Each structure stands twice: as C-alpha cells, then as structure tokens.
Structure 1
Amino acid sequence: MPKQRSGRGILLVSNLPQLQNLIKRDPKGYREEFLTQYNQYTSLLRLQSVAPSASTSQANADKSDDRFAELVNFISQVAQCYPDETKELPAQLRMLLLGGQGGTMVKGDLRRTVVKNLVMLRNKDVIDSIELLQTLLPLLPHVPSSLRSIIRSTILTDLKTSNAKAKNHRLNRVVQSLMFGMVESGMGAEVVGDKGKGKGKEQGGEAMWAVMMVRELWKKGVWTDAKTVSIAALAAFHPNTKVQSAAIHFFLGSETDGDEEDSDAEDGIREARKDVRKMQHSLEVGKGGRRKERLLKQVKKDENKKRAKKVAGIGSTPNFPALELLHDPQTFGEKLYDNLHRHDKHYSLDHKILIMQLLSRVMGSHKLCILGFYSYIIKYLAYHQLQVTLILVSLAQSVHELTPPDVLTPVVRKLAQEFVHPGVGAEVISAGLNAIREVCRRQPWCMEEDLLGDLIEYRKSRDKGVVTAARGLLQLFREVNPGLLKKRERRREVVRARIPVLEEGRGRVGGKAATMGLVDGQVPEYGHTKEIPEGIEGLELLDEHFAALRKEANGGVSDDDVDMEEEDDEAGWDNWDVESDSGSSSSSGGWEDVSSDGDDLEISDSDDEAPKKKAVKSKLKRVAEEDEDADEDEDVDMDAKSVVSAAPSAATEVSQTTKKLSLLAQQKILTPADFALLNELRLKAAQDLAANGGGSAAKRKLAALEASKRHVGNDEADRFLTESEILGPRKKAKADYEERMESIRKGREGREKFGSLKGKKMKENKSSSTNREKARNKPIMMALHSNKVMQKKKASLRDKQIKLRAAIDKQKRSKH
C-alpha cells in the first residue's frame, strides 16, 4: 500500500486538476502532495521577484511563467482547504500585481491569471471586499482594455452586492478614501490645457478612472451621498483636462462624458480628422478628380456630425441631486470661474463651454452671485462665434432673481447690438431675442425701457421665428413688468376682421390686468419677494370631489364620515413613491427607512390607539363646528353692516372660502395621491373654463398647468435650458443626401419600374408615346431653342435648295 500511494503521488505531480479534485474530497489525505506543489510555487515566486538575466532565453522564461500560472490556479483553488499554509497567498498575489517589497509587477497572461484567482478568493470569502478593492482599483490605469473591463465589472459588482441589503459604510468609506487619493495624486501638476498640441504628457490616469467609477456607482444608485459628489467636485479642478471634462459631465448628466469603454467620442473625432488629412494629402500629391473631391466633402461632413453629436450631448438631463449635494457651492462656483478665467488661453472652446455650463447651472441652482462671469462672457457674445447657442444657454441659466440688474444691463445691451439688427439673418435675430427673453424672465429689471420698445417692434417682421420671439418678449413683460411697456402695448392686439365685437373679458388679455397690477404695486422690485400664499390653490375643488364621493357612497345622501376619509388617507399613501419617481433614476433621492436611536419617537397603528385617534378627530370636528357657528354669527353682523353702509358683501365670500379651506385642512391630511388628484381637478377645471369662453387668460392658465404636468416631480427643470429654446421655431432645413434618398425610396414603393406609366397602364393598347407626341407637348420656349429649329435658321442657301428639291420630288411621287 505505501508503494502504491507514493507512485500515485508521483503521477499526480503533473496532473494538477486531478490532484485538485482529490484534495477537495480529502484534504488531510493529500496534504503531502499539496505541500510539494506549494514548495514549488514558492520557489517560482522568488524567481518572479528577480529580474531575468540576459542569458535566460525567452522560451525558458515563457515555460516558467506557464508553470507558475498553473500553480497559482491550483493553490488558489484549494486555499480554503489549508488556511494556515496559504495565509500569505493574498498578500503574495497583491505583490505580483502592484509590486513592492522588492517584487516586480507581472505582465501579460500571468497578470490576468493572478487577477482572476484573486477574485475567486473573494468569492470564496478567503479575503474580504476591502482587500480585493484595494488591490484592483490602482490597477485600472495600468492594464490593457481587455483586462480593464474584467476589473471594472468586478469592482462594480462587488460594491453593488455589498450595499444591496444595507449600506456597507465601512467598505464605502475605504473605497471613497482610495478614490480621493487617486484624484489628489496629480493635483499638484502644472495645467497644460487641451488647446492645440499638448506641450507635455498629462498625468491623470488614476484620477480619470476614479471619476469613471464614481459616475457608474452614482448611476446605479450604489453611492448617492455627499462624499461621492465631493470626489467629482475635487476632480473638476484637476490639471488634466480629460479628468476635468469627465467630472464636469458627471454634474451635467451627460452620457458622453469621456468614458473610454462606452462612448469613445473623442477617439471617433480623432479618427475622422485623420481621414480628412489623408484625403487632403492624396489630393495634393496625386491626381485629383471630382470623385476625390466629393469623397473629401463627405468625410468632412462626417467629422462635423461627430463633433456636433459630442457637443450636443452636454447635459440635456442635469444631475439635480449631485448639484444639490455640493458642499459650499459658493466656493465651488468661485473656483470654477477662477479656473476658467486664469486658463482661458490654455483651454479649447469646447472645454471652456463645458465649464460655463456647469458654472451657470450651479449659479442658477444655488442662486449664486459670481459677478465676474458676466463680464467674462461678454466677449463671446457674437453671432459669428462658434457654438454661440451653448454660450447663450449658459448665460441665461446663470441668471436668477437675486442677480443684480446693473450687471446684466450691459449684457442685454450687448446681445441686442450683436444679434438684433437688420444686418444679420432671421435665425440670428430670433436667437438673440429668445436669449434676451430668457434672461429677462429670470431678472426683469435688467431691461431698459427704450431698448424694450425697439425689440418688440420686431413682431412686425416677415419671418415666423422672429415674430414668435418678439411676441414672446412682449408677452413676458406684460406679465412680469408691464410698467416698461406703453399703455397701448399692454393689451393683446386684436384683428377686428376676425373678432368684430369684443365681449366683456375677452380680447384684452394683458391691458386691464397689467395696469391694475401696476397700480396696486403687485410687481415686486429687485430684492423684494412675492407675497406668501395663504392656502392651497384649488383646494375647494378637492373638497367638492370628496363630498360628491361621500354622497354617492351613501346612496345620494351627503354624510361627512370621518372613517371614510381615514380609509382614503391610508390608501392614498400606497405606492406614492413609485408614482412620483416613475420617470426618474434611482439616484434622484427619496424616502429611506431609518431607525430611531431613542424612545422619543413612537409611531404605531395598533388597535389600542384607534380610540385615541377617533377621540382626537371628534374633538377637531367639534372645534370646527364651533368655528363654523362663530363664522356664521360674524357673517350676520357683516351683512347688517353692509346693509347699513350699502357696501358689497365681498367680505362674506372671503369668510366662507376661509372656512371651507380651514375645515378641509383640519379634517384631512393630504396625501401624495390627493395632491395628484388636486392637479387633475385643477387641469379639468381650467379646460372647462377655456372651452366655455374664459378668454386668453384661461388658455394661458391651461397651458401652464399642462406644462407643469409634463414636468411633474422635476420643478428644477425650468431653471435650465436647451439649444432649441434659444433657437426657437425654425424653417425646415434643407435635406441632406440620406434624407433625399430615403424620400426617393418611399416614392418608389409599389412601382414596377422607374419610368412613366402613361403609355403602359392608361391606354387600351399598351405603348409608349412617340417623339412627335412629345414634341407637340414641348414648351414653346424650349422648342424655339431646340437643335432642329436652330439648325434650320442657320442653314445655308444651298442646303435650303436641296431640302426644297427633295420635298418637291417627294410630293410628285406621292401623287403617282
């Protein structure tokens, strides 16, 4: 038996998979065989730390690496069977990947093998997540793309799994500290910029991948705290412009944020630029031709499309939670402006526009006043400036009601001088008017009276886009500051041919209401806030709806049953968070279950507290009835006074409305479902009012309610703009080659051939038309200049004689 066992051990030396299977079945019985393989592993491990000599052949080195990779796989597979002997294995694998302690970093397939085995040790709980991620994160900028995708997916999966049931705060803190260190590692370098060819090699690979991982974890909802935002905020000031761009795109909410794996927009632009240069070189050194010129034009068009697509990806859906979680936004905004102003000559226009976009959104979201930004952006306000629409969007987004009007007045004057004058095209004028309107919508007091009068005169233009923009500016000031308008301009112009008789309350939309508001002082000046609303608009509609439901439930008899409202309250909270956040991502925030550390907060819905709830509600009902009786007595006194003084009874109506609002507020806690129902009732009431002759004011109110319904749950969407809002309505652009070919293909559908069907299907005997028929239907101006007619006019006398003699002979032969 001993001889057979030793012989079997010798055979198992070269068959590691079989030995691995046997060890998992009987670890104690095959311990000696394992130690033999482990000793060989340690020997090869020591050789890995020594640099290969010049005498060592490449074949021997490859053979040694293959054998070492097999042993690493074998030791990692059976490590849980011998924990004491393999306790140093994770540290040894980490040394192979990262170097240190005299070791060298392995390369090629051996590095891939070590990474996979390290991940396997984590799956078997031999090591924890912290030890794994501390090893894999620094590897991201130093490995090829094939291995990088494996490491990246491993990190994301491990963090997502660790935070699935509950937040693993210890793991998150460790990994976030690692990412902070990766970003801070290159913060002291000199800013090179991305304008033209770089003067030196930029350092920032670790910071780049730290930002990428932060973006992915935020997008998946794994990390949604302020510390995650702080990492991206720190990376926004990194000397490497690529790291800056990735961090800025994180706040802008753009998909094309420099991700080297998912969206290689910059690489695509670079390749397209190479193709353009290659085509240009071939035209210069070789034989030219129309075909090559046509191909060059197509390649240039492709490059422009890729560049426009990259620029258009800027923040159509801003990352609102990240902007709100910024720590000290004033300092962040000032540092952004300082970075933009200081390195203006080093940054390209695309990168400067990125910084403008982020700075403007931070200013608009947190109502910051960074006054130097407006003097800086003035030099870019020209209609011939590249990407001027994005610059106009940035300008408008940065303005809010706390921005000083004195700073914005030169900006508005510059916009009017550059964009709104007869020397430019209609699209430029409409873009300038729309930009001025968006700035004045946020701060109406920056407009000058004389300038406003000149701008609104463009509503008489012949271009539709200019007319729409000018009318929008006029309508804005009818609502926000009618004092700057002349009296005849405060009302909507009415065409008498269409509306011969103006009914009361119709035809005059802005005039009477704007003038009354101006007299009563309802237009707040700069620095003054609007009056705080005393109640919820449309709450009486909700009360009437509940009364109708109670009446229908009781068989037509009205009954104010408190228990029914209690059941409605409980049902109104069901799935309210799902409905409100249905269109948003998981990172948009929401309610979180928290546990109370003390006993001061007790919430229970048990049956023991039900009598207490009913007692409290009955007491509230008695108080409401007493208030109702008191209000009725006050109404009687008010009626008596009104009869004596012959004054209108408006105070009684106000008292009744206040009583109705207070009763509903006291008897019912409005749930999110109630607010959703209230919005629907308000929308329905506005539709009925607009349909029953409510005038233009009712139509505007209906449009506002419909717009708020589209942006429900996203109140901050009104702060940010898009390029389409600046450009306004435009005429249909000229179709490109692809669109024309698609139109041609649609027109050919259902046709047998690409010819005329006149003589093939529209005649009894199928035949095509003759040349004489075609000549008969030919236009006279074309016939006069045809070759046949022109040759007849230019014919010589001898030719005319020959043709005449031939015609006479032909007639003689026909007679005989």
Structure 2
Amino acid sequence: MAATEEKEQQKVMSLPQLQNLMKKDPEAYIAEYEQQWSHFDSQMEIFKLKPQKPSSTFGEQVMFLAHVSPSFPKKGSAFPDLLISALNEHFEVMHASMRTTLVQALILLRNRDQFSCIRTLPMYFKLFGVQDKTLRKNIFAHIVRDIVQMNTKCKSQKVNYELRDFFFARLKESETEVARHACAAFISLYRQGVWKDAHVVNLMSAGLVHPDVKIAAALAHLFLGNKTKGLEGILDESEDEEEADDADEAIRGIVGAKKTANRVKRAKRVKKAALKTAKKGKKGENTAVSFVAIDLLHDAQTLADRVLQRLSKGGEPFLFRLLMLHLIARLVGRHQLQLLNLYPFLLKYLVPTQSEVTKVLAALVE
C-alpha cells in the first residue's frame, strides 16, 4: 500500500515536467496523454462517488489536463463538458477546494478559447448561490473580463445578443444572488463601454421594478448618471467592505443610529470614503453626470408609471424611495412626461418634520 502511494506521488510530481514536454511536442506524447486521460477518467468516477471529499491528486490531474488538452483537440475537446457536468451534478455538496479547482480549469480552458462563453454561464450562475465569497468574486470577474476581451478582439452581434438575452433572463429571476450578479454584469459592462446601446439600456430598465431593493437602487444610480455608486450595493465582493456597509445602510435606510460608538464608526467610514473620492479626483477620473442611459429609454412614460406605482405601495426604505423619486423626476424632466400623480406624492414628504427635505426639493426641481 505504501509503495503504491509512493509511486502515485512520484507520478503526480512528474506532471509539471510532462506538461511542458507535451506542449512542446504533442505528437510525440499522444500515448502519454491517453494514459493520463485514462487515469483522470478513473479518478473522476471515484470522485463522483464522494464529491464532498477533497482529493489533491484528482485536482492536480484536472489542472494538468486543462493545460495540455488544447494541444490534443481530438480527445481534449470533450474535457470541458466533463468538468461542467461534474459541477452541475455535484456543486452543492462538492468540497470547496474541488469546486474551485474545476472552475479554475474551466477558466483556463476558456482563456485558451476551447469553448464558447455561453457554454459555462448557466453553471456559473448556479455557483453564485454557493456560500463561497472568493469563488463568486473570481467567477464574476472572469465573466466580465471574458466578455470585454471578446468584444475587444472581435465583436459578434449574434453572440452579444445571445449573452444579453441570457443575462436579462437571469435578471428577472426570483433567486436574489442570481439576479444581483446579472444586474452587476450589465452595469459593469455598460460602464466599461462594452454594452452601451439602446437595446441594453432598455433591458436594464426592467430591473428598476425588481422586488430586490439593491438591484433597483443600483440601476437607479446608473440611470441617474452616477458613474461610481450602485455596484458595491449588489456585490458583497466590494473592494472596500466598509463602503459596502455604507451603501447597504443607505439603500436600506438604516441611518441615524443612537449609539455613540456607531456614530464614530460611521464618521470614520465617511472620512475614508471621502479620501478615496479625493484620490480618484486627483487622478483625473471623469465623474461628471451622464444622461446617456436615461435618454436611450424607448418607453419612459410606462417605466415612470411602474416605478411610481411601486413606491405608492409603501413598505420600502425611506432613502430608497427618495432615490427612486429622484429617478422618476429625472425621467419626467428628460422625456417631458405627463405624470400627474407624482406631485401629490412628493407633497406628502414636504412636512416640517422632514429631515431630508432638500432631497425632496431636489426631485421637484428636476
């Protein structure tokens, strides 16, 4: 038994060397590739029996094949499907390290253009529901980066429309994490100038009436022309966790805590956020308000009616309602809409005890 384990260890240790040799001269190592494939095949069957059990040997074998399979397209073309199938079937019970390894292998294969972008997206969106923050962050970053690079190299309208329809379908889903990541993808790609046409803008507008407050708030910031706010509110993978907390509080209306300690913490966060904004300003970042998105809406009247109808039902955070009222007022101003119910609704907030009266007046000025 010990001798077998030692032999297996030697075999695993030799994989990096074999990998380099296979890449240099694939034709000379077809037999070795077949042998490694058979080894992977048997390990995959064992893995499927107990997916919750981590296996470093299997993980190394997967990464080895991910590196060399592009050099052996005849058989290697089936490799991505095997990984996708394993993740689809066992992602909920799979050990975190194994799940990460399989995803990394797929990302590596996709970076070498071994399959289309849309092929892994359904599975990736399933993984957004997994309690693994690092994995979710890496997958989301890969999806956005992949679409950006794909459009930089060769812009295919057919592929882009297919991807947009996919994200739009996910945006309408009731599963919160799935819808939030679809929304975040739309916003990221819009702000990077990849998807900025009227078709995308009108698809995104559907999220303004999504039941999830964070999705609606993030898109409201986008349509109001804010180039920095919104995205951190729907992604828990924000670079600055404290800023994410602030955004979350703003969306949910959790302000004015009574405890002094909370006030001190909030003051520190505000100061840090201000310093960060100042640094961005020094770098010459353009933070001017843009009306491009809101001007591309096809049916602003219906959208404004639906958003106002949503607010009329009540039960949502106060600051969120103010944000949406600001958006409605902007829609009325930019598209010259007739929305008679808006003004009586705004008057409800113009009372002597209203602490945010300036924001209400700002909406009226629009």
**TM-score, normalised with respect to structure 2:** 0.81
CA distance in 1, matches of 2:271, 2:205: 27
Within 1, Cα distance between the matches of 2:58 and 2:9? 19
The RMSD of aligned alpha carbons is: 3.4
State the AA in 2 paired with 1:34.
Y
Match of 2:207 in 1: 235
Q: Which residue of 1 aligns with 2:321?
A: 352
Corresponding residue for residue 60 of structure 2: 70
Q: State whether structure 2 residue 174 is matched by structure 1 residue 149.
A: no
Structure 1 residues 318 and 207: alpha-carbon distance in aligned structure 2, compared to 1, 3 A threshold: farther
Q: Please name the residue that 2:359 is paired with.
A: 390
Return the letter of the residue paired with 2:355: L
Matches within 5 A, 1:287-306: 296=260, 299-300=262-263, 302-303=265-266
Contact 1:211 1:231 in 2 (8 A): no
Q: Alpha-carbon deviations, 1:206-230, whole Å to 9, x = none?
A: 1111111111111111111122112
Structure 1 contact 269–307 (Cα < 8 Å) conserved = no
Partner residue in 2 for 1:367 = 336
- Could you list the per-position Cα deviations for residues 282-309 of structure 1 after superposition, in whole angstroms to 9, with x for gaps in the alignment? xxxxxxxxxxxxxx3x642553686899
Q: After TM superposition, list the pairs within 5 Å mapping 1:730-741 onto structure 2.
A: none
The whole-number CA distance in structure 2 between the counterparts of 1:44 and 1:9 is 12
Decide whether aligned partners of structure 1 residues 234 and 256 sit closer, same or farther in structure 2, where only a CA change above 3 A counts.
same
Please tell me whether the aligned partners of residues 23 and 30 of structure 1 are also in contact (alpha carbons under 8 angstroms): yes
Q: Give how far 1:124 is off.
A: 2.1
Contact 1:93 / 1:114 at 8 angstroms: preserved in 2? yes
Q: Against the structure 1 CA distance between its residues 335 and 117, is the aligned structure 2 distance closer, same or farther, given a 3 Å change threshold?
A: same
Q: CA deviation at 1:379?
A: 1.3
**Within-5 A mapping of 1:105-504:** 106-142=94-130, 144-164=132-152, 167-186=155-174, 203-254=175-226, 255-259=228-232, 260=235, 261-262=238-239, 264=241, 265-268=243-246, 296=260, 299-300=262-263, 302-303=265-266, 317-342=288-313, 344=314, 346-397=315-366
| Partners of 1:347 and 1:10 in 2: CA distance | 59
Structure 1 residues 267 and 107 mapped into 2: Cα distance closer, same or farther (>3 Å)?
farther
Aligned-residue offset at 1:371: 0.3
Residue type of the partner of 1:362?
A: L
Question: Alpha-carbon deviation of 1:10?
Answer: 11
Overall identity of the aligned pairs, in %: 28
Q: Which amino acid aligns with 1:323?
A: I
The answer for the alignment partner of 1:20 in structure 2 is 19
Note if contact 1:96-1:103 (Cα within 8 Å) is conserved in structure 2.
Answer: yes
Q: Distance in 1 between matches of 2:265 and 2:109?
A: 48
1:146 shift after superposition: 2.4
Query: SS at 2:185's partner residue?
Result: helix
Distance 1:69 1:305, change over 3 A: closer
**Structure 1's 13 and 119: CA in aligned 2 closer, same or farther, altered over 3 A?**
closer
What are the ranges of 5 or more consecutive residues in structure 1 without an aligned counterpart? 1-7, 53-57, 187-202, 281-295, 398-816
Q: Secondary structure at the match of 2:209?
A: coil
* CA-CA distance at 1:42 after TM superposition: 1.4
1:89 lines up with 2:58 in the alignment: no
2:325–2:363: 8 Å Cα contact kept in structure 1? yes
| SS of residue paired to 1:250 | helix
Distance 1:68 1:220, change over 3 A: same
Q: Distance in 1 between matches of 2:80 and 2:307?
A: 43
Give the structure, 1 or 2, with the largest relative contact order (CA under 8 Å, sep 6 or more). 2
- Checking the alignment, whether the CA contact within 8 Å between 1:180 and 1:231 is kept in structure 2 is yes
C-alpha displacement at 1:392, in angstroms?
0.6
The residue aligned with 1:48 is 47
Q: Distance in 1 between matches of 2:196 and 2:244?
A: 28
Cα separation, partners in 2 of 1:393 and 1:270, compared to 1, 3 Å: closer
Change beyond 3 A, Cα 1:152–1:269: closer
The one-letter amino acid of 2:57's match is R
Contact 2:92 2:130 in 1 (8 A): no
d(CA) in 2 for partners of 1:11 and 1:28?
A: 24
Residues 246 and 84 from structure 1, CA distance in 2 versus in 1: closer, same or farther, beyond 3 angstroms? same
Q: Is the 8 A contact 2:225 2:293 kept in 1?
A: no
Deviation for aligned residue 1:358: 0.6
Distance 1:354 1:46 in 2: 53
- CA gap of 1:177–1:269, structure 2 versus 1, over 3 A, is closer
Q: Which residue identity lines up with residue 78 of structure 2 in the other structure?
A: E
User: Conserved in 1, the CA contact under 8 Å of 2:77 and 2:114?
Assistant: no
1:165 CA drift (Å)? 5.3
Aligned to 1:812: none
Aligned residues of 1:48 and 1:103 also touching (Cα < 8 A): no
Cα deviation 1:428-476 (Å, max 9, x = unaligned): xxxxxxxxxxxxxxxxxxxxxxxxxxxxxxxxxxxxxxxxxxxxxxxxx
Deviations 1:707-761 (A, max 9, x none): xxxxxxxxxxxxxxxxxxxxxxxxxxxxxxxxxxxxxxxxxxxxxxxxxxxxxxx
TM-score, normalising length: structure 1:
0.38
* Structure 1 position 110, deviation (Å): 1.9
SS at match of 1:78: helix
* Alignment-mate amino acid for residue 307 of structure 2: L
1:517-666 equivalence runs, <5 A:
none
CA distance in 2, matches of 1:375, 1:9: 76
Q: Aligned partners of 1:307 and 1:269: how far apart in 2?
A: 11
Q: State the distance in 1 between where 2:202 and 2:211 align.
A: 17
Distance in 2, matches of 1:205 and 1:77, equals 31
Greater helix content: 2
Inter-partner Cα distance in structure 1 for 2:318 and 2:307: 16
Q: Larger radius of gyration, structure 1 or 2? A: 1
Alpha carbons of structure 1 residues 391 and 40: separation in structure 2 relative to 1, 3 Å: same
Q: Matches of 2:208 and 2:130 in 1, distance apart?
A: 23
Distance 2:112 2:56 in 1: 24
After superposition, the Cα gap between the structure-2 partners of 1:328 and 1:95, relative to the gap in structure 1 and judged at 3 Å, is same
SS of the residue aligned with 1:33? Answer: helix
**1:251–1:318 Cα contact (<8 Å) kept:** no
Partner of 2:281: none
How many correspondences in the alignment? 339
